[in-house]
Structure 1
Amino acid sequence: MQTDDVRQDLADRYPPIADHALVGDGETAALVGLDARVAWACLPRFDSPAVFASLLDADRGGRWDLPVRDLRSSRQHYLPGSAVLVTELTTGTGTLRVTDALLLDGALQPRTSSATGALGRLLEVVHGTVDVRSELRGRDGATVEGSAVPLPGGGDRALHLSSSRDTDRGHVLGAGDRWALTLSWTDEPLDLDPDTLAEALQRTDTAWRDWSAGVRFDGAHADLVLRSAITLKLCDHHASGAVVAAPTSSLPEAVGGERNWDYRFTWVRDAAYTVYALRRIGMVEESDAFLDWVLDAATREDARPDVLYTLDGTFPQDEVEDEEFEGYRGSGPVRWGNGASGQLQHDVYGEILDCAYQHVRHGGTLTDARWDRLEHLGRLAERHHLTPDQGIWEIRDAGRPFTYSVAMCQVAFDRLARLAELSGRADRAAHWRALADDVRADLVDRAWSEEDGCFTEHLDQPGTLDASLLALPLRRVVDAADPRMVATVDAVARKLSPGGGLLYRYLHADSPDGLEGNEGAFVLCSFWWVDNLVQSGRVQEARELFESLAARVNHVGLLAEQVDPTTGEFLGNFPQAFSHIGLISSAVLLARAEADGL
C-alpha cells in the first residue's frame, strides 16, 4: 500500500493525464505535455513498441524534454481546425513557443510506408530571452543525438535526431531566434533547418485544415465537436481504416490499482457507434473505410469473430505484464497486448451486423458470399445468445447472461432481417424478423424486474444494474420513451451516479468482475444518459447534463476514458475515442432537438 509520502512523490514525478495533447499522422501518435515533454509515442505505428513512455515509468520509460530555466507558467493550444500543437513556456526572462506536429507531406492520406515519419519541433522565442536545452532519452535511457539509434522492434529501422543547434548543451535564445528539431524514422535523417521545418509545419497545418473543413456541424459546442472529430482522425489508422480505442496502454482506471489495459487495438464493438457518429458530421470517407475494415476482419473466417483486432485485422499478441515499468504513479502492472481478445462477448454479433446494415443502407453492396458469412454469424448468435459471456465490460470472472449481450444478439437478428429486405431475400427476412421479435419479447420480459422497477444487468436476476442498459434505445431494442426504459434511466442515475453528471459502469460490490479495487466514472456512459434524455423528450435535462460534461474536457478539448468523481482527474487511456464518439452523438441529437423547437 502506498504511504502519503510515496503518493506525493509519485504525483510529483507524474503529471496529470489531462495535462497532455495529442499529435499524429495517421500511422501513430504522440502525447505532448504542458511542459513540452513528449511523454508517449509508439513508433512507427500505434501498436509498435513504445519509444517514449515516461507516463508509465518516469525514469525508464523514455521522453523528450525541452527544459527551460526558471519556468513560471505554460499554456497549450491547437491551431484552429488542426492537429498542429503550440505550447508556450513562460520563464522569468521571456516566452518560448514550441510548435509540434507529426509532419505530413500533403493531404491526410495513407503513407506508402509506415517506416517513414517525423516529429518536428520548432522552438521560437516570442519575447525576451529563454535558456533552453533538448534532452531526448529512449526507453532504455540512452541519449539520442545525431547518430542513428535502433528503433525498438523495428529491425533495421532507426531513429534519427537532427538539430539546427548543438544538442550537447543548452542555448540562450533571444527574441525571434529559432531552433529546429526533427526526430525521424527513415532510412536517412530528415535534416530540416528552421525555415524548412516551418514550411513543413505549415503544410501539415494546411492538410489538417483542408480535412477539417469537411466536418459538418453548426450546433452548440461546435468547437468541441470539431476537436472530437480531429481526435478521432488522430486515432484513425489511415492505411487500413481501423480506429484504435486509444493510442496508449496501461493508464490506470484507478491510481495504484491493477485495472490497466492496452487499448492500441480496434474493438468491433466500437465500430457501429463510430461509423454512425462520423457519418452524422460528414466524415463519410472515414466511416466507409472503418466499415470495410470491420467487415473484412470479422467475416474472413468461419470461426467465431474476435472481440478486438490489430490494425491489420489479425488477432493481438498474448497479454504480457511489463516487469520493468512501475506504472503511472505506481499503478502496476503495465500490460502490452489485451487478454480480452479471447473472451466470449456475444454482443459482437450485433455490432458486426449493425455495421453491415449501415454499409448497405448507405449504398454498399451485399454479395452472396458476404450474405452467407453474415447469416453464419446470425446462426452463431441464435445458438449462443442465452449462454453466459464476459459482457460489454469484459469482466475477468465467470460468465453471466448479460442483458446487453442478449440485446445485441437481438440486434443481429433485426439487422439480418433488414438486410434481407433490402437485398430481396424475402424468405430469409421472414425468418430473422420472427426470431428478432421473439428474442426481444423474451428479453424485455426476463430483464424487467417488478421488484426493482427497472431493467436489470442480467436476465432473471433482480438487484443488478449496469450502465450498458442505457444503450438499449440507442440500438433500437427498447424505445427510449417506453416507461420501463425511462424508469431504468432514472434507476441508473440514482444508483450509479456519484454526482456531477458522471456514471459508474457498475458497482463492483454488486457486480464482481474478478479484479481488485475500484475505477473511475466512465465518460461514454454519461453521453448515453444524455441521448436517452433527449430521445425520451427530457431535452432540458439533457442540455444541462451535456453542459456539465462539456466542461470536463481538458485545456485542448480532449477526454479520457474515465474521470475520478472525487477530484475530477482523468483516468484510463487517453484520449479515448469512445468518449469523443459519445460527445459527437449527443451534440448532434441536441442540435436536432433544438432545430425541432424542443
Structure 2
Amino acid sequence: MEDWRPVERAQGYLPIADHGLVGDGRTSALIGRDGAVSFLCVPRFDSAPLFASLLDHRRGGTLLLAPARLRASRQRYLPDTAVLVTEMRGPEGTVELTDAFLLDPEARLEDDARAGRGELLRRVRVTQGVAELRCHLRPGPGHDVEAGGDGWVLRGPDRVPTARLRASRPLPGPSGTLVLEAGDELVVSLTWDRARPAADLLPARAREHLEATARVWRRWASHVVADVPHPGLVRRSAITLKLLDHVENGAIIAAPTSSLPEYLHGSRNWDYRYAWIRDTAYAVFALRRIGLPMEAKGFLNWALTAAERDTRPLVLYDVDGLPPPDEVEDPYLEGYRGSAPVRWGNAAARQVQHDVYGELLDCAFQWAAIGGRLDPARWEHLALLAERARTAWSRPDQGIWEVRTQGRPFTYSAAMCQVALDRAARLARRLDLPGDIEGWRRDARDLARRVLEQAWDDGAGALTEHLGGGGLDASLLALPLRRVVPADHPRMAATARAVADTLGAGGGLLYRYLPRVSPDGVDEPEGAFLLCSFWLADNLVGQGRVDEAAELFERLCSYASPLGLLPEQIDPSDGSFLGNFPQAISHVGLMSTAVVLARALRGVRPELATHAWFRG
C-alpha cells in the first residue's frame, strides 16, 4: 500500500495519477484520492458526463464523500479486483471509503454481458476517532438534482431521470456534513439502470455486495498468467483493460476520459472514449498470451464486424461499431487545470489512414489462428482491403498520429499496407481461400524492400517518418512487432538506436517525434509517449539485448501510479501524467513486453526466470 500523502492540488485539480478506476464493462468512474467521483458518464462510456470535475473543478460536477478539512490520504485496490479503497485522514479521525460498481455474484466476466448492475456503491467506515464527513452531490452542466423518494434524483436536460442517489442514513441535503464516530458506517448508492434492483443499503448487506463483487473479479483474474515479469502489474493491467472492455460486444475503448491534455495549455485534447481498429491487433496479442482468449476473441470479432459495415473502414468506432458523433468543443468546461478546449466526439474517425488495411488483415489473421470463421462475405471484404493496400501505400494519409494537416506518405502506413498483403496471402494459402496469393506475396516482399529503401535517410542513419525522407518517428519501432522488418536487420537496428538517442527524453522515455518537426503542424511540446518505450524494449529483445530490455522494462514499470495505472504520456521533467487516463494501449504495451521478456529470459538466460519480478 502506498504511504499517506498530503492531498495537494494545482489550480484546484488533483494530479491525474491520484485517481483510481472502477467500472462494470458498460461505463466507469475515476475516483480521486480526495474521495470525489471526478468523471462518470452514464449509462455507458461515451454518454454525456454526469460528473466531470476532472475537466472543471467548479462546474463539472462531482459526488464527494470525504472528511472536512482533509489532510492526507492513500489508495489501494483489494488484491486482484476493481474494488477501490481510499483512506482519508481528517483533523480528528480517519475514514475508509470503499468504491465498486456492483456485479452479479454469479457472473462470469469473460462471457456474461449482464454482469454489471448499473450501480456505484460507496461505503464509508470511520476507522479511528471522529469524522466530520462532507457529503456533496453536484451534477455537471445540463443536469439538476432534486429530492425524490428516499434520496435524490438527478435529471438531464430533457428532465428525464438520469440517476438516483440513496443513502443508509438521512443526508443533510445535496451538500452538507455528518458527524460519525469510530465504527460508524455510511453507505451511498448511485444507480442508473432502472431495470435492475438496487442494492440493500444496510451496512452488513453492503459489505456482502462488495465482497461478492470482489469474488467475481478474483475469479476472473485467476486466469491471468503469473510467470511474467512484474506479475502484479500485469494483472492490474489486465483488470484495467477489462474495465475498458464493453461487455456486450467485446469493444475495448482507448481510455475512459476525454480531453485530458497531452501538454498543459496545449491544443492536443481529444476524446478517447471510443475503440480504435489500430489498437485491436496489439491488444489481442497481449490478451491471448496472458491467458484471456475470450477477451481477445471478442475484440477481434467486434473489429471485423464494425469494419464490414463500411465500404471503406473507419479508424475508430463507438462501442456499437458505429461512427462516433461529430467532434464539438464544450462551451462550459474550462478543461483540466484550465487546459481548454474540452472536446466530445473525435474527428479522426473521418481521416484517411492507410494503416487500417493492415490492422484489419492482421486482426483476421489472428481471428483465424484462434479458430474464427472467415465466411465468404467476410473474406470478400478482406480481400478487397488487400487489393486497396496494393496502391494506397504510396498516397498521402494522416498516419498513425492522426495529423490534422495535409497528409503525406507515412512510412508506418506503407508498412501496414505490406502487412495487409502479407496476411492476405497467408490466410488464402492456409485456409484455401480465393485470391491472388502469389501476387499478394510478391507485392508484400516488394513493399518491404521499398520501405527499407525509400524511408532510409543516410544523413540520419535511420528510417524516417515518411517515404522520401523526413524526421525521426518512434512509430517505426513497431515494424518488427508487425513482422515487416526484423528487429536485428541493420537498418532497423540503426533506426532503433537513432530513435533512442534523438527522441529519448531520459529515464527510458521517448517522444513520438521532435516538437519542432512534428508532423501534425502543431508547434508545441508534448509528453513522452509511453507505448513507444515498450516498443523499444521489444526491439532490444529482438536484437538479443535482453538485459538492456529488462532494465528498460523495469524503469517503465516504475512510472505506474501507486495503484498500478498508466497514462498515455508522461512529462519527463517531473514524471507527472498527461493525456487520457488510464490508457488502454499503455497497459497493452506493458503486458506485451512482459510476455516478450518472459520468453526471452527463459530462452537466453534461464536462470533469470527466478528473478524477483516473477515473484512480485
TM-score computed with the length of structure 1 as normaliser: 0.95
Q: Secondary structure at the match of 1:57?
A: coil
Q: CA deviation at 1:384?
A: 1.4
User: 2:145–2:155: 8 Å Cα contact kept in structure 1?
Assistant: no
Bigger CA drift: 407-416 or 497-506? 497-506
Pick from 198, 214, 221 the counterpart of residue 230 of structure 2: 221
Q: CA deviation at 1:446?
A: 0.7
2 CA distance for matches of 1:10 and 1:73? Answer: 12
Q: Indicate whether 1:565 and 2:569 are aligned.
A: no
Bigger CA drift: 165-174 or 50-59? 165-174
Pick from 151, 176, 186 the counterpart of residue 183 of structure 2: 176
Aligned to 1:333: 341
Deviation string, structure 1 residues 510-564 (Cα, Å, up to 9, x no partner) = 2341335221000100100110001111111111111111110001000000000
Give aligned-pair identity as a percent: 53
Deviation string, structure 1 residues 367-413 (Cα, Å, up to 9, x no partner) = 12111110011112123111000000001100011000000000000
C-alpha distance 421-333 of structure 1, shift in aligned 2 (>3 A)? same
**1:301-340 correspondence runs (5 A):** 301=310, 303-340=311-348
Q: CA deviation at 1:152?
A: 3.7
Q: CA deviation at 1:300?
A: 2.5
Q: CA deviation at 1:94?
A: 2.1
Aligned to 1:384: 392
Aligned to 1:102: 101
Q: Indicate whether 1:278 and 2:264 are aligned.
A: no
Q: Indicate whether 1:481 and 2:480 are aligned.
A: no
Bigger CA drift: 550-559 or 150-159? 150-159
User: 1:346–1:409: 8 Å Cα contact kept in structure 2?
Assistant: yes
Q: Indicate whether 1:591 and 2:590 are aligned.
A: no
Aligned to 1:3: none
C-alpha distance 69-177 of structure 1, shift in aligned 2 (>3 A)? same
Amino acid at match of 1:376: L
**1:332-481 correspondence runs (5 A):** 332-425=340-433, 428-461=436-469, 463-481=470-488
Q: CA deviation at 1:156?
A: 3.9
User: 2:43–2:193: 8 Å Cα contact kept in structure 1?
Assistant: no
Aligned to 2:543: 536
User: 1:319–1:336: 8 Å Cα contact kept in structure 2?
Assistant: yes
User: 2:425–2:440: 8 Å Cα contact kept in structure 1?
Assistant: yes
Aligned to 2:554: 547
Aligned to 1:91: 90
User: 1:184–1:190: 8 Å Cα contact kept in structure 2?
Assistant: no
Q: CA deviation at 1:583?
A: 0.3
1 CA distance for matches of 2:473 and 2:64? Answer: 43
Q: Secondary structure at the match of 1:363?
A: coil
1 CA distance for matches of 2:146 and 2:540? Answer: 53
Deviation string, structure 1 residues 483-533 (Cα, Å, up to 9, x no partner) = 111110000011111211111111131234133522100010010011000
1 CA distance for matches of 2:335 and 2:154? Answer: 24
1 CA distance for matches of 2:84 and 2:66? Answer: 18
Q: CA deviation at 1:295?
A: 0.4
User: 2:199–2:206: 8 Å Cα contact kept in structure 1?
Assistant: no
Unmatched 5+ stretches in structure 1? 1-8
2 CA distance for matches of 1:485 and 1:586? Answer: 18
Q: Secondary structure at the match of 1:218?
A: coil
Aligned to 1:581: 588
Aligned to 2:119: 118
Q: Secondary structure at the match of 1:357?
A: helix
User: 2:92–2:129: 8 Å Cα contact kept in structure 1?
Assistant: yes
Deviation string, structure 1 residues 58-100 (Cα, Å, up to 9, x no partner) = 1110111113134331110000110000011122322111100
User: 2:516–2:523: 8 Å Cα contact kept in structure 1?
Assistant: no
C-alpha distance 271-153 of structure 1, shift in aligned 2 (>3 A)? farther
2 CA distance for matches of 1:314 and 1:477? Answer: 30
Amino acid at match of 2:217: W
1 CA distance for matches of 2:433 and 2:324? Answer: 36
Deviation string, structure 1 residues 293-334 (Cα, Å, up to 9, x no partner) = 000001233x21000000000001100000101101111110
Pick from 183, 192, 201 the counterpart of residue 192 of structure 1: 201
User: 2:130–2:182: 8 Å Cα contact kept in structure 1?
Assistant: yes
